[in-house]
């Protein structure tokens, strides 16, 4: 990251220092889809004008992206003006002071392992990921407390940045809207996705949740792993 890119990331993160702006950002991210100005204002209990101002500032900071769409679904004359909608941008922010290049090292290691291509190497990676998942479970308080097995697992994954989102019903599925290893996955999917699955399997084992299973379920815009199990 050069000095200009680093300065831009600092400016983007500084935009979240304003309380209303931060609240709006967290709401949009939590929704996981397009959010209108009216919805954002209503949900965060601010005026529409104030919500619009801060949402546009978040777009300027590259934290959100904006699109236009008619919410009525109608076309042609009388359909009304398109609404301005907001969702989280694809930009990634990873700032450390002083700068560190841990992701660069991760890319090099992933590339080397992918080129090695040996089954034993991949199995060793999966085993290490499972053990690390168990260690994360021991360090996490998010997976403890009240709630069913699936809810406990989702809380632990939320604390790790996976952004779980559950389906409805007693027997449910939890999809993970964010992959913390996204940039690595892009170039080494056959290596990173099995590692990610093993990490989450280790986490579930460490949490001691019964009846919850992690499986590979790759979809565009989400993590390659999903959880299946009982909420009760």
Average pLDDT, the chain: 83
Four-way CATH pick for 3-88: 3.40.50.2300, 1.10.10.10, 2.40.50.140, 3.40.50.1000: 1.10.10.10
**Is-contact 64 89, C-beta < 8 A?**
yes
Q: How far apart are CA 146 and CA 135, in angstroms?
A: 21
State residue 20's pLDDT score. 94
Q: What are phi and psi of 175, to 5 degrees?
A: -95, 155
pTM attached to this predicted model: 0.70
Which has the closest alpha carbon to 154: 141, 164, 140?
Answer: 164
State residue 232's pLDDT score. 60
State residue 72's pLDDT score. 66
State residue 114's pLDDT score. 73
State residue 40's pLDDT score. 95
Which has the closest alpha carbon to 157: 142, 139, 135?
Answer: 142
Q: How far apart are CA 110 and CA 187, in angstroms?
A: 9
State residue 144's pLDDT score. 63
CA quadruple 40, 43, 46, 49: dihedral, nearest 10? 20
Average pLDDT over every residue of 72-81: 62
Does 121 have pLDDT greater than 90? no
Q: How far apart are CA 66 and CA 111, in angstroms?
A: 35
Does 5 have pLDDT greater than 80? no
Residue 43: alpha-carbon gap to chain centroid:
21
Radius of gyration of the chain (CA): 20
Average pLDDT over every residue of 129-150: 81
Does 42 have pLDDT greater than 90? yes
Q: Where in the chain is the domain with CATH 1.10.10.10?
A: 3-88
State residue 172's pLDDT score. 81
Residues 6+ apart with CB under 8 A from 201: 130, 133, 214
Which of the 8 DSSP states describes residue 81?
P
Q: E strands, 23-139, where?
A: 35-36, 64-69, 83-88
Share of the chain above pLDDT 90, in %: 36
State residue 38's pLDDT score. 94
Highest mean pLDDT among 93-97, 144-148, 167-171: 144-148
Q: E strands, the chain, where?
A: 35-36, 64-69, 83-88, 164-166, 171-176, 212-216, 225-230
State residue 25's pLDDT score. 93
What are the C-alpha distances in Å from 31 to residues 34, 86, 96, 112? 8, 10, 28, 37
- Per the document, the length of the chain is 232
Which has the closest alpha carbon to 110: 101, 100, 94, 121?
Answer: 121
pLDDT digits 0-9 by tens, 161-220: 898 987 655 568 899 988 888 888 877 888 889 999 999 999 999 999 888 999 998 887
Average pLDDT over every residue of 30-47: 92
More confident site: 173 or 117: 173
Share of the chain above pLDDT 70, in %: 83
């Amino acid at each position: 990251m050069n000095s200009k890119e680093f300065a831009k990331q600092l400016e983007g993160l500084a935009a979240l220092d304003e309380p209303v702006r931060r609240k709006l950002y967290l709401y949009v991210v939590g929704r996981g889809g397009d959010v209108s100005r009216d919805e954002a204002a209503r949900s965060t209990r601010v005026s529409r004008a104030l919500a619009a101002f801060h949402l546009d500032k978040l777009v300027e900071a590259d934290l959100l992206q904006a699109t236009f769409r008619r919410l009525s679904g109608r076309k042609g004359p009388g359909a009304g003006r398109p609404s301005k909608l907001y969702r989280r941008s694809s930009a990634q922010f990873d700032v450390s002071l002083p700068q560190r290049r841990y992701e660069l090292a991760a890319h090099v290691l992933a590339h080397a392992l992918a080129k090695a291509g040996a089954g034993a190497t991949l199995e060793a990676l999966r085993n290490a990921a499972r053990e690390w998942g168990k260690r994360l479970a021991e360090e996490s308080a998010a997976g403890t407390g009240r709630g069913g097995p699936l809810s406990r697992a989702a809380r632990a994954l939320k604390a790790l940045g996976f952004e779980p989102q559950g389906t409805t019903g007693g027997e449910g599925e939890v999809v993970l809207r964010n992959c913390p290893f996204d940039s690595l996955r892009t170039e080494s999917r056959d290596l990173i996705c099995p590692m990610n699955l093993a990490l989450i399997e280790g986490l579930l084992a460490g949490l001691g949740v019964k009846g919850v299973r992690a499986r590979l379920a790759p979809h565009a815009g989400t993590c390659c792993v999903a959880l299946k199990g009982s909420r009760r």
